[in-house]
Amino acid sequence: VKCPFCFGSDNRVVDSRESGEGDIIRRRRECEDCGKRFTTYERLEEVLPLVIKKDNRREPFDRNKIISGIQKACEKRPISVETIETVVSKIGRELQESGEKEIQSTEIGTKVMQYLHELDEVAYVRFASVYRSFKDISEFMDELQTLLKSPDK
Ligand SMILES: [Zn+2]
């Protein structure tokens, strides 16, 4: 996004909100070059950060991929598709609000685990074990302990 005043391309997001029209996000940006502020309207898929995979390749945030990953973990658990979709929407919104251009795939995994932890213990452990390639069980247990101890629980 270029500044409409000086055409500089360095700017930061100072405010971000839904425009009330489908998947259009209204953003206030501040130019790093001239300091002026301007408003942009961006489509949801344009404001979501790219996902950095373990091999350093980037791919777009894929909502459906995350939904199917969670569904797999929630198989035969009392969790509706609607609940899963809500979780993924919340994660998407958090990512938009962060204003980051790129995000590590593991960060998304951690967010999913935090939500699953609140929803269903079994689904959470299943997801954690398939999502992350833990070196050994103790690494996995460490992760589990960290999340269980999180103060917002
Ligand atoms: Zn400017």
* Distance from Cα 3 to the centre of ligand 1, integer Å: 5
* Distance from Cα 91 to the centre of ligand 1, integer Å: 31
pLDDT in tens, 104-134: 888 888 898 899 999 998 888 888 877 665 5
* Distance from Cα 51 to the centre of ligand 1, integer Å: 28
Residue 53: pLDDT band (50, 70, 90) is: confident
* Distance from Cα 37 to the centre of ligand 1, integer Å: 8
pTM for the structure as a whole: 0.62
50: CB partners within 8 A, 6+ apart? 58, 59, 60, 61, 101, 102, 103
* Distance from Cα 58 to the centre of ligand 1, integer Å: 29
* Distance from Cα 34 to the centre of ligand 1, integer Å: 4
- Measure Cα distances from 15 to 18, 28, 47 in Å: 10, 5, 13
pLDDT in tens, 68-102: 888 888 888 999 989 998 899 889 888 887 878 89
Best CA proximity match to 15, nearest among 90, 97, 100: 97
* Distance from Cα 99 to the centre of ligand 1, integer Å: 19
